[in-house]
Amino acid sequence: MKTKYNKISLAVLIIIGMLTSCKKDFLDKNPTAAISSETFWKSDADAQMGLTGVYRRLQAGFYGARKLWLDTYSDNALDRHSFFGFGNLTQGIVNPTNIPGAFYDTPYAGIASCNFFLDNIDKAPSSEAAKNGYKAEARFLRAMFYFDLVQAYGGVVLYKTAPKTVDEGKIAKSTKEDILTFIHQELDFAIANLPDGAYSGHAVKGSAQALKARVYLFQQNWAQAAKFSNDVITGGKFQLYQGGYDKLFLTATQINNPEIIFSTKYLAPNNPQDGEGVLVELGWYGSIAPYQNLIDEYEMSNGKMIGEAGSGYNAADPYSNRDPRLKFTVKVPTEKYINPDGSVFNESDPLLTTYSQKKYVDLSKLPFDRTKTPLTDQNIIHIRYADVLLMYAEAKNEESGPDASVYKALNDIRDRASVKMPAVDQTVYNTKDKLRDFILHERRIELALEGHRYFDLKRRNLMDVKLAPLKNPAGVPLKFGEKNNVLPFSQAEVDRNKQLVQNTGY
């Protein structure tokens, strides 16, 4: 994007290793061959391969398996190996030299691929209807990439087409408001042109509606956030998965799962997760270590918080009679993983917080070992129906206060077959303020360790207050160090683009 080499490499990355099938399920095929760029855009199959190249960008950074690590930049968990440097960031050490490139480079790599595709798709002999559908998918993805940039940085550089020269790419950033306007335009096009059906690997209308609701939630435009989340709810294409909360995150039950609205797809054996995959990194290394603060947030099975009178909490047996989502999400100290031979599985290193992430860990693959465990093709979920219900509850409560529809959205989540938590106590959570706190609590529990907490706390300006009570395992207090609730641009990026003005405070 910044050099001629980068422009060429984008084309190569889109083309090399892409699929040769022209069937509509081309995302469900393993790549089998490379093709020549000189003969590209000559058929509808080429257009589909090009679009697959755009989707492949989702397998990098915080769009792939690394998305889960975003919860370690919050009060939910510790990144015990400081893979992204969150150990420093959560101590308030935030500067232009220590920001993970995944916040900036990865979305822009995705945007570059979207722009390359959109700049060239009209060369293909596909029908106009097909082209509009492909464009809608690319524009949905471009909106998602830009939205993550806005959440992290505020205003950023806006590229609507691929820069043709190095100098053309060196431009000033647009305002946050302008970027958000562009995002809504992209999503409006996507909503109008994506198929109105269930999700099976490609973005659909409901994917775009849900993302638009999330953007409006970020903007605190409660009426529009409620409208678009309710459009997904009343559309009837998605529902809560009743086959087991924990199984939502395992390969075998992710295919055509009615709760998944958008995800990053993988496919074994040739297109698994990068690196060592979640099974090794979460299951063996215990790389994401939940804090006690998160554990304490889970209610008792009677719906009371552990410190509440009548909860029945027993400090000598702290994990019994708790919200079932606790043990679906976290491996607690009293739990043992049993290998197929009957022996007890042990992590590679002692767990620093005594807890490790269990969500996304497929116990049928035990024992986990860097040299033995096969790479996984579990899909990483970005949007699911429970999230939409929570967005609706939050937005509707802010718009007009508690009503039956808000309680229903929350109770539907709590009443799913594998959870069966009591309904929200309407005699206690009966005001906008009280219900707001409960909704944010429910959001934390339902979506724990899925990569949402950092942005949720930032959009509510709660990072300071939520980090302040915590210390890391070394006893160092946690602190939110971002200035004006945005990250700094990396010094390398500011040096490359002299038109890019650093965010205020850095």
Helix (H, G, I), strand (E, B) or coil at 414: helix
Between CA 226 and CA 222 the distance in angstroms is: 6
Cβ density class 381-408: b for 16+ within 10 Å, e for less: bbbbbbbbbbbbbbbbbbbeebeebbbb
Residues 6+ away with beta carbon under 8 Å from 400: none
**Cβ-contact 444, 323 below 8 angstroms:** no
State the SS3 of 209-224. Answer: HHHHHHHHHHHCCHHH
Helix axes 128-153, 105-120, angle to 10 degrees: 160
Residue in the structure block whose two tokens are 């000033």 = 172
Between CA 277 and CA 272 the distance in angstroms is: 8
For residue 422, CA distances in Å to 253, 265, 323, 416 come to 26, 34, 10, 11
| Residue 164 within a domain | yes
Helix (H, G, I), strand (E, B) or coil at 267: strand
**Cβ-contact 18, 48 below 8 angstroms:** no
**Cβ-contact 133, 195 below 8 angstroms:** yes
Q: What is the residue-level pLDDT of the chain in tens, covering all 506 positions?
A: 233 323 333 333 333 333 323 333 434 443 333 444 567 999 999 999 999 999 999 999 999 999 999 999 999 999 998 889 999 999 999 999 999 999 999 999 999 999 999 999 999 999 999 999 999 999 999 999 999 999 999 999 999 999 999 899 999 999 999 999 999 999 999 999 999 999 999 999 999 999 999 999 999 999 999 999 999 999 999 999 999 999 999 999 999 999 999 999 998 888 889 778 999 999 999 999 999 999 999 999 999 999 999 999 999 999 999 999 999 999 999 999 999 999 999 999 899 999 999 999 999 999 998 888 777 899 999 999 999 999 999 999 999 999 999 999 999 999 999 999 999 999 999 999 999 999 999 999 999 999 999 999 999 999 999 999 999 999 999 999 999 999 999 999 999 999 999 999 99
Closest CA to 80 of 284, 261, 237: 284
| Residue 342 within a domain | no
Expressed as residue numbers, the domain containing 131 is: 4-193+487-496
| Residue 161 within a domain | yes
| Residue 237 within a domain | no
| Residue 406 within a domain | no
| Residue 440 within a domain | no
| Residue 14 within a domain | yes
Query: How many domains would you assign to the chain?
Result: 1
Helix (H, G, I), strand (E, B) or coil at 101: helix
What CATH number has the domain bearing residue 94? 1.25.40.390
Residues 6+ away with beta carbon under 8 Å from 190: 136, 137, 139, 140, 143, 203, 205, 207, 208
**Cβ-contact 503, 484 below 8 angstroms:** yes
Helix (H, G, I), strand (E, B) or coil at 295: helix
| Residue 111 within a domain | yes
pTM (two decimals): 0.93
